[in-house]
Amino acid sequence: MLWTLWFGFVAALLGTAGAADGAVYQDPETGLTYTTGFGLYKSSGDGIAVRIAIPSGVESYTPFDIVIQIIAPVTIGWGALAWSGSMVKNPLFLFWRNGQNPVVSSRWANGHTTPTPYSGVSYTVFKTGTRSNSTHWQFTALCKGCSSWTDGSTTRYLQPRGGNRVAFAYSPNKPSSPASNTSAITVHEVHGYWSHDFTSAANTNFENTVARLQ
Ligand code: HEM
Ligand SMILES: *[C@@H]1O[C@H](CO)[C@@H](O)[C@H](O)[C@H]1NC(C)=O
Ligand SMILES: *[C@@H]1O[C@H](CO)[C@@H](O)[C@H](O)[C@H]1NC(C)=O
Q: Residue 191 burial (CB < 10 Å; 0-12/13-18/19+)?
A: middle
pLDDT per position as a tens digit, 111-156: 999 999 999 999 999 999 999 999 999 999 999 999 999 998 999 9
Helices (H), the chain: 2-16, 206-211
C-beta separation of 50 from 166 below 8 A: yes
Nearest ligand, CA of residue 20? 2
By most ligand atoms within 8 Å of CB, the mutation choice from 16, 128, 130 for ligand 2 is: 16
pLDDT per position as a tens digit, 27-46: 999 999 999 999 999 999 99
CA of 5 to the centre of ligand 3 (A): 40
| 22 band by pLDDT with thresholds 50, 70 and 90 | confident
By most ligand atoms within 8 Å of CB, the mutation choice from 112, 121, 194 for ligand 1 is: 112
Does residue 49 have its Cβ closer than 6 Å to ligand 1? Answer: no
Does residue 74 have its Cβ closer than 6 Å to ligand 2? Answer: no
**Pairing label, strands 122-132, 190-197:** unpaired
CA distance 96 to 156: 27
Which pLDDT belongs to residue 20?
55
What percent of the chain has pLDDT above 70? 90
Residue 125 has phi, psi (to 5 degrees) of -85, 130
Q: Where are the domains of the chain?
A: 23-213
Radius of gyration of the chain (CA): 16
**Cα three-residue angle 1-49-93, rounded to 5 degrees:** 125
The model's pTM: 0.92
pLDDT surpassing 70 at residue 14: no
CA of 118 to the centre of ligand 3 (A): 9
Given the CA of residue 92, which atom of ligand 1 is nearest to it? 29
CATH entry, 23-213, from 2.60.40.10, 2.40.50.100, 2.60.40.1210, 3.30.420.40: 2.60.40.1210
Given the CA of residue 182, which atom of ligand 3 is nearest to it? 13
Does residue 115 have its Cβ closer than 6 Å to ligand 1? Answer: yes
Nearest ligand, CA of residue 14? 2
Does residue 8 have its Cβ closer than 6 Å to ligand 2? Answer: no
pLDDT surpassing 80 at residue 16: no
